Structure 1
Amino acid sequence: MLLAVRCFGKESVKDKLLETQNIVKLEFDNIPKRRLSAGFQTAQRPENHRRNRYKHILPYEDTRVVLRSTKSNAFGYINASNVLVKFGKHSLRYVASQAPMRATAVDFWQMVWESGCFIIVMLTACVENGVDLCYQYWPRMNTEGKVMRFGDYAVTLSNCIEAAVHVFSSLRLKHLPTNQQRLIYHFQYLDWPRGGTPRSLTSYLGFLDEISGMRRHVENQSALMNLSAPGFPFYEATPEYHPELGCHISDVSPPVLVHCNSGVGRTGVYLLSDIMIYSIEHNLEFDLPSVLAMLRQQRMNFVDTYEQYLFVYQCLEEHIRHSRLV
């Protein structure tokens, strides 16, 4: 029987942390890892095997990001998933992706362009303990003005700011066939080992807050844009209906693209903590196990471990405690 522990108020988050860790672990263990009815037809096609960083982490057929087909990618496949969370009139939209590989970097930037992303959240190092976790898909720090070419896309580093545990880069993404450009805000968190949790709770919450501020900025700017104006494309002029999202693409805010190495472990922690903090700040009903279950209905295996799940509870407690002090 699923242990459903409901959290409808801020006090209950602290109460939850006072319960035994065994109860929290049981709660985590009883959340289904994936949607059993989901298909993986495109992800499992032989020609797409090389596009999957890990054979056991695949996007569901009905929530996968679908790219415009090209000669080199006839099925428009990339290992990434659309994630939409609705709170009545409120909604948050994400793209959860595996880290780019050399063979998929072109597809990655095509996805950024076509999905209307302005913010990329990177939660992994490119190499950790000698293991390749992510291809260097953007210009390195201290290479301002350098241009990297990825098929029809050119990426230029405008500026870069290094903080204690993260690096912020402002990138200029240019679609060469149309000569249109978009500013991309790239946030890389540096202090989060694979399979673990951020070493500093306070630093991680500050990172979340900085990205939330940027998201609000992007949403405010997009509200002022003429969506069909040349030179700063946002979405297609004619909104396209997306069955997997259950709405027209212009009905929701621009997506935040989040990736670690696999697009499920650290990515899931980020999505879960971001969504829960958003719900607290907007006085919405929130329920951690139900939100994680809902996320796993859109991409498998979000949040790898019990320790990561517990960390999200700790984030909520710290966020609430800090909010009361302000």
Structure 2
Amino acid sequence: MVQACGGRSRAQLPAWSLGTAMTQPPPAKAPAKRHVRLQERRGSNVALVLDVRSLGAVEPICSVNTPREVTLHFLRTAGRPLTRWALQHQPPSPKQLEEEFLIPSNFVNPEELDIPGHASKDRYKTILPNPQSRVCLGRAQSQEDGDYINANYIRGYDGQEKTYIATQGPMPNTVSDFWEMVWQEDVSLIVMLTPLREGKEKCVHYWPTEEDTYGPFRVCVQEEKELPEYTVRQLTIQHQDECRPVKHILFSAWPDHQTPESAGPLLRLMAEVDESPEAAASTGPIVVHCSAGIGRTGCFIATRIGCQQLKARGEVDILGIVCQLRLDRGGMIQTTEQYQFLHHTLALYAAQLPGQPSP
């Protein structure tokens, strides 16, 4: 049986509006009416129910989208471009950003990830790679090890495919998987956005002090440079007779679930990445990771895409960027504070661009 409907069904509302609708108290129950016949003439509950068998081939009165379809539609279509001038002089208020950040997270249900043994390779049980964009291993290791790694390909500026790989901080049993991914994807730049410990382990020490072997890969440190805000290491990774350079940048001054004290260090990290010949010359993606691979990792990637939009177009669609990231990996950018910091950082970058923007 189908209930007749008019206007938009609740399932067709934007996902961010459902929470408000669900939290409103139910309407007060109306007192019972004595004039039953009058109620029936106006339309009782029974009168609003249709027998599906009587409809035959008639087109349905309205279509109802599933919550999943509503989520994907929102993430594919939502956006709010801000000009360079508006970002600096008329930015959204903290309250507006708090409301705007109610974006569907698009997390993967653990029950839906049908990959045997994946749980032993996940740092956090609820933070899993979206199946359609996950990185699959399979070049250097045996089939017994499987193809699983908690990592996703992430689109970059203008939707360019596989510009980044967002991944979790390696665990003791996934270090060789991590280096296989670096080799398989021809990665020449790794950006690490977490210290090894923040009260508890956030990432294992997956690179050598001098040189070490991880599975079939030999990794050597060629040069190490300590800068005030981050550390740069020049590494080489060797498999059989082939050897490749890899640049490793460790930016550890970013507290978990929080934001840096100022945007300046992050923008200087962006400049380090943009000026790296490894990033310019490589055809492989940039690997970015923190601990879970969604919070600080999402902020870094969103900031870089936003800077590229501002430089090329004179405007930036921060909401659209975050939605694109969450299509590729669920939960990218974890907190409202990180979303607000993203706006602040891009406003600072916009102010540093040459020329005066017009309103």
TM-score (norm: length of structure 1): 0.80
Say if 2:157 and 2:308, in contact at 8 Å, map to a contact too.
Answer: no
Of 193, 197, 222, which aligns to 2:255?
193
SS of 1:318's partner is helix
Q: Higher RCO, 1 or 2 (CA under 8 Å, sep at least 6)?
A: 1
Q: Which amino acid aligns with 1:205?
A: L
SS of 1:262's partner is coil
Higher helix fraction (1 or 2)? 2
SS of 1:268's partner is helix
Q: Which amino acid aligns with 2:214?
A: F
Pairing of 1:203-214 with structure 2 (within 5 A): 203-214=265-276
2:149 aligns with 78
1:78/1:91 Cα in 2 relative to 1: closer, same or farther (>3 Å)?
A: closer
2:106 aligns with 34
2:55 aligns with none
Distance between the aligned counterparts of 2:114 and 2:145, measured in 1? Answer: 11
How many residues of Structure 1 are paired with residues of Structure 2 in the alignment?
281
SS of 2:173's partner is helix
How many Å apart are 1:171 and its aligned residue?
0.3
Of 150, 165, 186, which aligns to 2:214?
150
1:133 aligns with 202
Q: Which has the larger radius of gyration?
A: 2
Q: CA RMSD, aligned part only?
A: 2.4
Of 277, 283, 297, which aligns to 1:267?
297
How many Å apart are 1:200 and its aligned residue?
2.8
Q: Which runs of 5+ in 2 are unaligned?
A: 1-13, 18-77
How many Å apart are 1:5 and its aligned residue?
6.1
Does 1:290 pair with 2:354?
no
2:245 aligns with 183
Q: Which amino acid aligns with 1:33?
A: S
Distance between the aligned counterparts of 2:223 and 2:108, measured in 1? Answer: 44
Distance between the aligned counterparts of 1:261 and 1:36, measured in 2? Answer: 18
Distance between the aligned counterparts of 2:162 and 2:85, measured in 1? Answer: 24
Distance between the aligned counterparts of 2:182 and 2:111, measured in 1? Answer: 24
Distance between the aligned counterparts of 1:5 and 1:81, measured in 2? Answer: 23
Of 153, 169, 179, which aligns to 1:109?
179
How many Å apart are 1:60 and its aligned residue?
1.3
Percent sequence identity over matched residues? 28
1:248 aligns with none
How many Å apart are 1:254 and its aligned residue?
2.2
SS of 2:208's partner is coil
Q: Which runs of 5+ in 1 are unaligned?
A: 141-145, 223-252
TM-score (norm: length of structure 2): 0.73
1:126/1:295 Cα in 2 relative to 1: closer, same or farther (>3 Å)?
A: same
Distance between the aligned counterparts of 1:128 and 1:182, measured in 2? Answer: 32
1:11/1:37 Cα in 2 relative to 1: closer, same or farther (>3 Å)?
A: farther
